[in-house]
Amino acid sequence: MGSLGVPELIIIFVVALIVFGPKKLPELGKSLGKGLAEFRRASNELKSTIEEEVRAIEAEPPARYSSEPEPESKPEPESKSEPEPESKPEPESKPDAKTTSETNLDAH
């Protein structure tokens, strides 16, 4: 898709003149011009901000990496001030014992 030529611009102008009328066309042109100017200003501002950040990153000295890894700090062992409560062993279930529901079924 190429750029717009003179015949295409004339067609667009005629259609805009028919749709909006001669009274509103200057207002629309002014609004369109302000919008395009604001867009250009914002895009230029963004571009300059990105370029400044790139320059700042390039100006920083590169980080030095040593051949030895840094020693990791080992966590200190926690002291046990309170003894852990002893867990009571659960009673073993008897394989021959019937459950309550089985006993109720047998009663009926």
Per-residue pLDDT of the chain (108 residues; tens, 9 = 90+): 678 899 998 998 899 889 988 889 889 889 999 999 999 999 999 999 999 999 998 888 776 665 655 656 655 655 555 555 566 665 555 555 555 555 555 555
**Eight-class DSSP state of 95:** T
* Strand intervals (E) in the chain: none
Half-sphere exposure of 6 (CA within 13 A, CB side): 0
Report the alpha-carbon distance of residue 48 to residue 91 in Å, rounded: 76
Distance in Å from the first CA to the final CA of the chain: 89
**In 1-108, alpha helices (H):** 6-59, 100-107
